[in-house]
Amino acid sequence: MDKLNLRRELMSSRASLSPEQLRTNASKVRETLLDQPWVQMAGLVACYWSMGTEPETHGLVFALWKHGATVILPVLKEDNDLDWAVYDGPDTLAPGRYGVMEPVDTRRGVDAIRTAALVIVPALAVDRLTGVRLGRGGGSYDRALARVGPNVPTVALLHPGELVEGVPAEPHDQRVRWAITPRELTRLM
């Protein structure tokens, strides 16, 4: 299946998730991640502020911050590349492009992600064999992930059924090293 049709199919199954399922999925993913020593030890975490039916991250971001990590969140640039700014609690976010909440803090530049010890990204699907990630089509995370060093864990958050085989890959498509669904945390490469 091509990217466009796969995105359509995945978005339509996401649309059928109830608010309760979204909440349950988010709390399972949050608990599993927070149980991992490599998550607990990460001093600087790049994450995202979820919207709509994306795997929800608000509780995860809050918990990481409470735990003492510095959390940076994306600020979408005009060219769809990602700038980054520090999360400093729930009152420090304001709507940016497309209504996504972004930190109001100083922008740290597109290279800020290079300093993260852990990178948590959204995805519509991840290939369980290759780690190839399918996003929503802006190429934002392909650019951001290309800046992440080889030893940094990169984790895609997924709903059940989104870790699949046969995700289409173009040369610019970045892979992730881990995928997590409410059922399983999987090491991919």
Q: At closest approach, how far in Å is the CB of 136 from ligand ATP?
A: 5
Residue 8 host element (H or E): helix 3-15
Q: Compute how many residues bind ligand ATP; rule: CB under 6 A.
A: 15
- Tell me, residue by residue from 142 to 181, as one string, x for binding to Mg ion by CB under 5 A and - for no binding: x------------------------------x--------
Q: At closest approach, how far in Å is the CB of 121 from ligand ATP?
A: 8
Q: How far apart are CA 55 and CA 52, in angstroms?
A: 9
Q: Tell me, letter by letter, the H, E, C secondary structure of 133-169.
A: EECCCCCHHHHHHCCCCCCCCEEEECCCCCEECCCCC
Q: At closest approach, how far in Å is the CB of 166 from Mg ion?
A: 15
Residue whose CB is less far from ligand ATP, 65 or 74: 74
Q: 171 vs 41, 80, 142, 175, CA distance in Å?
A: 33, 18, 10, 11
- Tell me, residue by residue from 136 to 165, as one string, x for binding to ligand ATP by CB under 6 A and - for no binding: xxxxxxxx--x-------------------
β-pairing, 70-76 with 44-46? parallel
Asked if residue 40 lies in contact with residue 49, where contact means CB atoms within 8 angstroms, the answer is: no
160 binds, among Mg ion, ligand ATP, none (CB under 5 to 8 A by kind): none
Q: How far apart are CA 176 and CA 123, in angstroms?
A: 10
Q: Which residues pair with 119 in a beta bridge?
A: 46, 154
177 near ligand ATP, rule: CB under 6 A: no
Considering only 154, 173, 182, 186, the residue that binds ligand ATP (CB under 6 A) is 173
Token readout for 13 is 């199954």
Footprint of Mg ion on this chain (CB under 5 A)? 142, 173
Footprint of ligand ATP on this chain (CB under 6 A)? 3, 134-143, 146, 170, 172-173
